[in-house]
Amino acid sequence: MPSNITAICPGTFDPVTVGHLDIITRGATKFGRVIVGLIEEPQRKSPLFTPEEREVFLRDALVGHDNIVVDRFNQLVVEFARKWDAHVILKGLRAISDFEYEFAMAQLNRKLAPDIETVFMMASPEHSFLSSSGVREIAAFGGSVVDLVPPAVARRLAEKYPPGSKA
């Protein structure tokens, strides 16, 4: 793929997982620049972490990746892409259920902005089961998430759900 192409990788990242980071960093090897678009106020969910916390988690986890930028937004994804002159929306897929939702979103985005392509990247096999909601549930019930999220996220989840507490 041409190195002059900018891609956006939008999501709530509540919290960011090693699966998200895998898609973002692999995308950064395929595109000249990847803009990680942090949705501040998602319409479908109520985030556990504030936009500020989620942004810090992402920035800390992506230190050293010079062609990756983190930016927050509250607008249509295609408008966010236009802000960055991005012509690609990069989305990770784990399973058929992800595809059904993401396919519909890609078609809506294509209707709004035919010049912006959605590119799907398959999750690495070791991350195909991983979701932010799964991580939150494991942490809420006292399970270890240290291999599933960056260290700062694991520490913050342990603070939110101390051992012996009930979610």
pLDDT in tens, 55-90: 999 999 999 999 999 999 999 999 999 999 999 999
pLDDT band of residue 1 (cuts 50, 70, 90) is: low
User: For residues 1 and 34, is the Cβ–Cβ distance under 8 A?
Assistant: no
Could you read off the pLDDT of 15-35 as tens digits, one per residue?
A: 999 999 999 999 999 999 999
Does residue 50 lie in a domain region?
A: yes
Query: Which of 42, 41, 39 has its CA nearest to residue 58?
Result: 39
Residue 39 CB neighbours (<10 A): 22
pLDDT of 147 strictly over 60: yes
User: For residues 78 and 112, is the Cβ–Cβ distance under 8 A?
Assistant: yes
Which helix (H) or strand (E) segment is 34 a member of?
Answer: strand 33-39
Does residue 140 lie in a domain region?
A: no
pLDDT of 163 strictly over 80: no
Does residue 41 lie in a domain region?
A: yes
- Give the per-residue pLDDT at 2: 58
Calpha distance 124→151 (Å, rounded): 20
Q: What is residue 107's DSSP assignment?
A: H
Does residue 1 lie in a domain region?
A: no
Does residue 68 lie in a domain region?
A: yes
The model's pTM is 0.94
Could you read off the pLDDT of 123-134 as tens digits, one per residue?
A: 999 999 999 999
Calpha distance 43→31 (Å, rounded): 28
Does residue 36 lie in a domain region?
A: yes
Q: Domain of 16?
A: 6-124
Give how many domains the chain has, as a whole number: 1
Does residue 104 lie in a domain region?
A: yes
User: For residues 135 and 104, is the Cβ–Cβ distance under 8 A?
Assistant: no
Which helix (H) or strand (E) segment is 26 a member of?
Answer: helix 18-30
Does residue 165 lie in a domain region?
A: no
The phi-psi region of residue 37 (left if phi > 0; otherwise alpha if psi is between -120 and 50; otherwise beta) is beta
CATH of residue 58: 3.40.50.620
- Give the per-residue pLDDT at 162: 86
